């Protein structure tokens, strides 16, 4: 079922306000809408569409940077947990935990998930301190 332009109204007015998963989903839907309706309006020349494009581009840059940070930290964490030194594990795990806390709302991370990650971090620190003794 094809969406109409009204469906995207709130998204187009403030795309950065959407959480990352919903943002990319709506962006994809809107891209499909533009392709389906490419002859219905001139979205490159119309002043209002230029403003919309500017907001979308700015939001994409923000969300892409956040997504890249998430993916880089996730890769780094998986790598050090698999092959890294214990001190590296603690440092990277701490970075991961701080990222999750800072972006809890953006990624819909529950308080329970944060608490479990904090517990895992504490266990890692305790294990490291026991090995140091």
HEC string for the chain: CCCCHHHHHHHHHCHHHCCHHHHHHHHHHHHHHHHHCCCCCCCCCCHHHHHHHHHHHHHHHHHHHHHHHHHHHHHHHHHHHHHCCHHHHHHHHHHHHHHHHHCCCCCCCCHHHHHHHHHHHHHHHHHHHHHHC
pTM of the predicted model as reported, rounded to 2 decimal places: 0.82
Which residues contact residue 81 at a Cβ distance below 8 angstroms, ignoring those fewer than 6 apart? 89, 93
Rounded-to-integer distance, Cα 3 and Cα 116, Å: 40
Rounded-to-integer distance, Cα 23 and Cα 15, Å: 7
pLDDT tens per residue across span 8-61:
999 999 999 999 999 999 999 999 998 898 888 776 678 888 899 899 999 999
Binned at pLDDT 50, 70 and 90, residue 81 comes out as confident
């Amino acid at each position: 079922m094809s969406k109409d332009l009204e469906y995207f109204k709130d998204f187009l007015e403030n795309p950065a306000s959407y959480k990352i998963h919903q943002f990319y989903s709506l962006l994809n839907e809107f891209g499909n809408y533009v392709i389906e309706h490419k002859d219905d309006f001139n979205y490159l020349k119309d002043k209002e569409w230029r403003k919309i494009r500017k907001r979308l581009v700015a939001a994409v840059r923000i969300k892409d940077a956040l997504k890249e940070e998430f993916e880089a930290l996730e890769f780094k964490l998986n790598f050090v947990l698999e092959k890294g030194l214990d001190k590296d594990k603690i440092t990277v795990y701490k970075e991961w935990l701080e990222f999750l806390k800072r972006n809890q709302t953006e990624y819909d991370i529950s308080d329970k998930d944060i608490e479990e990650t904090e517990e895992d971090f504490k266990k890692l620190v305790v294990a490291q301190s026991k090995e140091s003794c």
